[in-house]
Structure 1
Amino acid sequence: MLCSPTVGFNGIWWSLGMAGTGLDVLQNNKIYIVGTNTMCDQLKGLSLAQQKMCKMYYDHMPPIGAGAQMAIKECQYQFRFRRWNCSTIQGDSSVFGPVLQIPSREAAFTHAISAAGVVHALSRACREGELSICGCSTAMRPKDLNRDFIWGGCGDNIEHGYQYAKAFVDMREKEKNHPRFSKELARMMMNLHNNEAGRRSVYNYAKVACKCHGVSGSCSLKTCWMQLPTFREIGERLKEKYDGAVEVKFNKRGTKLKRKHKKYNKPTTEDLIYLLQSPDYCQANKETGSLGTSGRECNRSSDGMDGCNLMCCGRGYNTFKKTIVERCNCKFMWCCYVKCKTCEHVQDIHVCK
């Protein structure tokens, strides 16, 4: 589904993950230094400070775009069974729409997953030799690694990925001048915290990976290196943080955020935080960016958020018959192809009213 955002700020760098933002001119590093100034100015969604970073490190932009795209896809996967399903609109630099104007759990998750995507993509791009100022990881040998193992395989450069992502992603928030005791300042502090939580969901969970060597796979020798977690693992971890996100507020001096309800644990740097409760997303609402759930498929046998009771917000649902055509009874034929039959079956589809 697509939403039609009307966000109050003029685009976000996340739009580099969408088509038609001008990033195509930088893809595959097919760019010449003489043209970087003009090209960086044309990229949609970058703030003035981010444009300057683009001009200094233009080869970092394609991985950042890839990281943003990866984050958008993972967000949509994690929320595919929720009322808010991380909808985007093609060609709009605000990407997620008015939902980001509300400092809620959803805004917290989108900031975190996007920051994580940049760290992941940049760290991997260093390892692949795609960036001019970094290469394989320079991480120290872990003390608990078996002394017979060789340390020095080409690992993901999580150090550079984290540092550059921190500078680039946070720059947009920090270059704004917000008055104290303002909603804008509180939102900025919330966004910075969640950006860091996203980065740490990658940085803190890099692990040692090893490859065996030896005659006939005897594994008499191992070479080891640092490796990022998969982005699906990162998405699942941040989804858990979303479910356990902590509601916060300003302290009396307006300088720090603190938890609103003291019965909950104080949020750590890996936890997500939010300022306002989320809308229910049951009905379409242009102001909140809610598309509503009318027309969404639901699972009649589920008691979870994908179930017809919760997904349809008590409005009920309609049931339709749908004919499913698929390959079946596949057999391997000698030599060498697979022969299948075509099977049809009728399936009940439930759609919210």
Structure 2
Amino acid sequence: MTREYVLRCVLMLCFALLSANASNWLYLAKLSSVGSIRDEETCERLRGLIQRQVQICKRSVEVMDAVRRGAQLAIDECQYQFRNRRWNCSTLESMPVFGKVVTQGTREAAFVYAISAASVAFAVTRACSSGELEKCGCDHNVHGVSPEGFQWSGCSDNIAYGVAFSQSFVDVRERGKGQSSSRALMNLHNNEAGRKAILSHMRVECKCHGVSGSCEVKTCWKAMPPFRKVGNIIKEKFDGATEVEQRKVGSAKVLMPRNTQFKPHTDEDLVYLEPSPDFCDYDPRTPGMLGTVGRQCNRTSKAIDGCELMCCGRGFQTQEVEVVDRCSCKFHWCCYVKCKQCRRTVEVHTCR
């Protein structure tokens, strides 16, 4: 067996492992649109999909642009929720888009999987309600008069369809050969926890009907919470995530808290397998590990966004920059707003 043959096999194995990463489908967010897909060949050309996801694409071509929007929604929400942390969900042009961070069984990976599964369920459900998809529409199972006395009407969000599609598309790799591995169990659990962040917070929206604005008749429908609220919920679960390990209970393999003094996690909690790195330093061997050099920090904060913690004890530098804001805005009839430009000098602190 030649050295070149071994090297080629290693490279092929690394490529296979990378290609099989379950979060690679997030690369769809890099596309401007996949709404032009009208044939099966285009599904084959989409980067980041494993073969079983390609098959789902072929069966549900019209849903794929909602999946793309879901991928972008997941990335945007991750970057918002982690904007003041050492790891801030920076994306790469390669796969996986968050780098090696999501290939490890850390809290950060748990968040990414949860927010991704939730984003697909959310985006597909929204596409159903807007009439974009022929396969689904409003939830017609919600009808009649409620126990509270109002009439179910309007377009209730078809969250059942969105969740079912998320389960089939996002979970597909984990339900393959490795579904009994610790990492597969972790991913499946966090995917479901992300979807439950929507399911458990569905809300009732109503509209009153009657003379002069009275509420003689009230019609209501079920609606998803804003995705920002979903992100906030999953971020709270990230902060309280449980470190777990795989154990055998009877004939089943399950995840249990590594520390037996901790109470078991629920279906809505996030779980992780290994501690996170400190994310302080750039590591060229670990894509996505960008470090905190050059990151802005808050000099007066004692939290993770403060210069002491964000800069990992390396110190920070301060410079004055001029900021231009809109100010003294006035509404003019009819119909525009005119503002002045105000300049001010602020201090910006960046990590050394």
Indicate whether the TM-score tops 0.5: yes
1:198 to 186, 194, 208: 194
Quote the Cα distance in structure 2 between the aligned partners of 1:336 and 1:186: 60
1:319–1:350 CA contact under 8 A, matched in 2: yes
Q: What is the SS of the residue equivalent to 2:229?
A: helix
2:99–2:289 CA contact under 8 A, matched in 1: no
2:320–2:348 CA contact under 8 A, matched in 1: yes
1:45 aligns with 2:75: no
Deviation at 1:191? 0.5
2:144–2:151 CA contact under 8 A, matched in 1: no
Quote the Cα distance in structure 2 between the aligned partners of 1:119 and 1:111: 13
Deviation at 1:142? 9.1
Partner of 1:324: 323
Change (3 A) 1:13 1:336: closer
Q: What is the SS of the residue equivalent to 1:163?
A: helix
Quote the Cα distance in structure 2 between the aligned partners of 1:334 and 1:124: 36
1:327–1:340 CA contact under 8 A, matched in 2: yes
Residues 42-68 of structure 1, C-alpha deviations (whole Å, 9 max, x = no match): 111111111111111111111111111
Q: CA RMSD in A?
A: 2.1
1:83–1:282 CA contact under 8 A, matched in 2: yes
**Percentage of matched positions with identical amino acids:** 48
Unaligned 5+ segments in structure 1 are 1-5
1:98–1:286 CA contact under 8 A, matched in 2: no
Deviation at 1:129? 1.4
Residues 294-328 of structure 1, C-alpha deviations (whole Å, 9 max, x = no match): 10000001111110011001111000000112222
Partner of 2:11: none
Partner of 1:158: 159
1:60 to 55, 59, 63: 63
Deviation at 1:100? 1.2
Alignment of 1:164-183 (within 5 A): 164-177=165-178
Instruction: Count how many residue pairs are aligned between Structure 1 and Structure 2.
Output: 332
Q: What is the SS of the residue equivalent to 2:57?
A: helix
2:146–2:152 CA contact under 8 A, matched in 1: no
1:7–1:100 CA contact under 8 A, matched in 2: no
Partner of 1:106: 108
Quote the Cα distance in structure 2 between the aligned partners of 1:71 and 1:325: 31
Counterpart residue identity of residue 112, structure 1: A
Counterpart residue identity of residue 16, structure 1: L
Partner of 1:3: none
Counterpart residue identity of residue 68, structure 1: A
Change (3 A) 1:339 1:123: closer
2:201–2:224 CA contact under 8 A, matched in 1: yes
1:231 aligns with 2:227: yes
Partner of 1:285: 283
2:18 to 9, 24, 28: 9
2:142–2:156 CA contact under 8 A, matched in 1: no
Deviation at 1:250? 1.4
Alignment of 1:1-353 (within 5 A): 8-10=17-19, 12-19=24-31, 24=33, 26-27=34-35, 30-32=36-38, 35=39, 37-90=40-93, 92-140=94-142, 145-147=147-149, 149-177=150-178, 185-251=181-247, 255-288=253-286, 289-333=288-332, 337-353=336-352
Change (3 A) 1:78 1:295: same
Q: What is the SS of the residue equivalent to 1:232?
A: helix
Quote the Cα distance in structure 2 between the aligned partners of 1:337 and 1:48: 52
Q: What is the SS of the residue equivalent to 1:235?
A: helix
Change (3 A) 1:80 1:7: farther
Deviation at 1:217? 2.1
Partner of 2:7: none
Quote the Cα distance in structure 2 between the aligned partners of 1:293 and 1:143: 56
Deviation at 1:256? 1.6
Counterpart residue identity of residue 72, structure 2: Q
Quote the Cα distance in structure 2 between the aligned partners of 1:244 and 1:285: 27
Deviation at 1:264? 1.8
Quote the Cα distance in structure 2 between the aligned partners of 1:61 and 1:346: 46
Counterpart residue identity of residue 124, structure 2: L
Moved more, 115-124 or 126-135: 126-135
Deviation at 1:335? 5.5
Deviation at 1:252? 5.0
Quote the Cα distance in structure 2 between the aligned partners of 1:192 and 1:60: 22
Q: What is the SS of the residue equivalent to 1:290?
A: coil
1:88–1:96 CA contact under 8 A, matched in 2: yes
Quote the Cα distance in structure 1 between the aligned partners of 2:300 and 2:16: 37
TM-score where L is the length of structure 1: 0.88
Quote the Cα distance in structure 2 between the aligned partners of 1:294 and 1:234: 31
Deviation at 1:200? 0.8
Deviation at 1:15? 1.3
TM-score where L is the length of structure 2: 0.89
